[in-house]
Amino acid sequence: MKVRKLMGALCAAGLLCGATASAVQAAEAVSVLHWWTSGGESKAVGVLKDDMTKQGYTWKDFAVAGGAGAAAMTALKTQVISGNAPTAAQIKGPLIQEWAEQGVLVPIDSVAGDWKKNLPPEIDKIIHADGKYVAAPFSVHRVNWLYINKAALDKAGGKVPTTWAEFFQVADKMKAAGIQPVAMGGQPWQDLTLWEDVVLSEGADFYKKAIVDLDQKTLTSDKMVQVFDTVRKIQGYFDNGRTGRDWNLATAMVINGKAGMQFMGDWAKGEFAGANKKAGTDYICAAVPGTEKSYTFNVDSFVFFQQKGQKAATPGQLALAKTIMSPEFQEQFSLNKGSIPVRLGVKMDKFDDCAKKSYSDEQTAIKSGGYVPSLAHGMAQGDATAGAMTDVVTKFMNSSQDSKSAVAALANAAKTK
Ligand code: GAL
């Protein structure tokens, strides 16, 4: 990410170099920048809006459409540069640190007294900067899911695949039954989501070496060539209309039976829920073939920007952070979002079987070392590295490039800082 450069320019222009004493007192309106615009996403963020409104705050919504937030992050930079930093923005993973390093965030420790004992240590670490809490986490999304339309599976006479060989068998059967086997959208982050699923299917250790450690030997290994070959083969089951297609429109294809399967994180479940489809009856959530014991995590969070004339977090910012981590909100938000609460110990009895599976698989993966950060969703690497690797995967998936040269390009991209 170019936050560092961008903030340098900003400071030089005299716009924002720490608190400005002359600025006015923050009003009790909270401006919130996020990218939750699909049906399920809007419902989920609506829970926060309602909670804040009930507490007397005015909600100013800055929703920037575009799954996974690329457009939202661009809008955020523009807002901060122009001296209009939002009260809170949806930022996650290493990007939290990148923004914190600019000195533009405010800590929220005063409402985070019991957070440490109620969060998985991996997550607690991510939302800290300089030993202080600077972000409030919403929920845990598992990325390595395969969604299957149950009627399509039955019609094709297939079974839920647990290996790639079984996956291709099911896909062939769906094709033969006149069903589009895989619904796929058309943005780079969706390409990377599928690619990292396939990396994970080679084992959590392989994933960690390649994606977390950026180990050159692993990145250039025969196994990595195999990953690209598998991705290429899966592409053979996409339809021709995927260019520019949003993820939720691909999910809709699975919901209405136009397509059989989709590789997507469990925010897709918010769409199924919105269409009144039931997990287990209308659709199946299965771990991506070969990844049953692993779990790619993706934790959304809000960070809080220093407001004009304020040295510390405003009451509205503290109220947001406190609300987001409250057990009641954690439950309601995740029920709409398709995720599971990030706060430990929240009751799961109102959740569907997919969420219950997510929860128990998460606990197993944490213990076994299979709990890994998603690259496609900003949890594994900073913006520059992740961006360079995304470019390689997207180029491969949108051309006839061979796997070996993609692997060489990937290893090179991983050196980007
Ligand atoms: C992810 C985000 C999720 C989900 C998805 C699609 O990166 O963490 O909350 O909404 O993008 O927009």
Distance 142 CA to ligand 1 centre (A): 11
Judge if 136 and 202 occupy the same domain.
no
**More reliable by pLDDT, 389 or 5:** 389
Compute the distance between CA of residue 400 and CA of residue 228 in angstroms, rounded to an integer: 12
Judge if 85 and 167 occupy the same domain.
no
Distance 311 CA to ligand 1 centre (A): 31
DSSP-based three-state secondary structure for 298 = strand
359 in a structural domain: no
CA 175-198-184 angle, to 5 degrees, is 45
The owner of tokens 């914190």 is 100
The minimum-distance atom of ligand 1 relative to the CA of 298 is 8
157 in a structural domain: yes
Judge if 278 and 318 occupy the same domain.
no
Q: Is residue 23 over pLDDT 80?
A: no
Of 18-27, 125-134, 276-285, 385-394, the one with minimum mean pLDDT is 18-27
Residue 315, phi then psi, degrees to nearest 5: -55, -40
Question: How high is the pLDDT of residue 65?
Answer: 96
Write the pLDDT tens digit of every residue in 134-186.
Answer: 999 999 999 999 999 999 999 999 999 999 999 999 999 999 999 999 999 99
Write the pLDDT tens digit of every residue in 63-88.
Answer: 999 999 999 999 999 999 999 999 99
What's the token pair of residue 204?
A: 């959590």
Q: Is residue 348 over pLDDT 70?
A: yes
What is the arithmetic mean of pLDDT over 283-302? 98
pTM of the model: 0.93
pLDDT grade for 106, boundaries at 50, 70 and 90: very high
Judge if 388 and 278 occupy the same domain.
yes
228 in a structural domain: yes
355 in a structural domain: no
What is the arithmetic mean of pLDDT over 45-55? 97
What's the token pair of residue 391?
A: 């470019």
Q: Is the CB of 93 under 6 A from ligand 1?
A: no
323 in a structural domain: yes
Tell me the pairing of strands 88-90 and 295-304: antiparallel
Name 343's Cβ contacts closer than 8 Å, sequence gap at least 6.
118, 119, 325, 327, 330
Tell me the best of 48, 95, 144, 377 to mutate to test the pocket of ligand 1, counting ligand atoms within 8 Å of each CB and taking the most.
Answer: 377
Write the pLDDT tens digit of every residue in 2-20.
Answer: 454 555 544 444 344 443 3
Judge if 394 and 290 occupy the same domain.
yes
Q: Is the CB of 120 under 6 A from ligand 1?
A: no
Number of domains making up the chain: 2
pLDDT grade for 28, boundaries at 50, 70 and 90: confident
Judge if 7 and 87 occupy the same domain.
yes
What is the arithmetic mean of pLDDT over 98-116? 97
Q: Is the CB of 377 under 6 A from ligand 1?
A: yes
Contact 3/34 with Cβ under 8 angstroms?
Answer: no
Distance 68 CA to ligand 1 centre (A): 5
pLDDT cut 70: percent of the chain above it: 94
368 in a structural domain: no
pLDDT cut 90: percent of the chain above it: 93
Judge if 394 and 248 occupy the same domain.
yes
CATH number at residue 160: 3.40.190.10
Question: How high is the pLDDT of residue 174?
Answer: 98
Distance 327 CA to ligand 1 centre (A): 21
What are the C-alpha distances in Å from 14 to residues 82, 274, 369?
11, 47, 47
Contact 175/200 with Cβ under 8 angstroms?
Answer: no
**Owning domain of residue 73:** 2-142+298-341
Distance 267 CA to ligand 1 centre (A): 7
What is the arithmetic mean of pLDDT over 110-129? 96
Question: How high is the pLDDT of residue 26?
Answer: 43
pLDDT grade for 24, boundaries at 50, 70 and 90: very low
364 in a structural domain: no
Write the pLDDT tens digit of every residue in 122-141.
Answer: 899 999 999 999 999 999 99
Question: How high is the pLDDT of residue 169?
Answer: 98
What are the C-alpha distances in Å from 15 to residues 11, 18, 19, 81, 96?
6, 9, 10, 7, 21
Question: How high is the pLDDT of residue 11?
Answer: 44
Judge if 125 and 157 occupy the same domain.
no
Judge if 279 and 302 occupy the same domain.
no
Compute the distance between CA of residue 61 and CA of residue 225 in angstroms, rounded to an integer: 44
Judge if 175 and 236 occupy the same domain.
yes
22 in a structural domain: yes
Judge if 229 and 282 occupy the same domain.
yes
Judge if 335 and 382 occupy the same domain.
no
Strand runs labelled E in 268-367: 283-287, 295-304, 340-341
Question: How high is the pLDDT of residue 341?
Answer: 98
Q: Is the CB of 191 under 6 A from ligand 1?
A: no
Distance 67 CA to ligand 1 centre (A): 6
Name 286's Cβ contacts closer than 8 Å, sequence gap at least 6.
145, 146, 148, 160, 161, 162
pLDDT grade for 102, boundaries at 50, 70 and 90: very high
What's the mean pLDDT when you consider all of the chain?
Answer: 94
pLDDT grade for 344, boundaries at 50, 70 and 90: very high
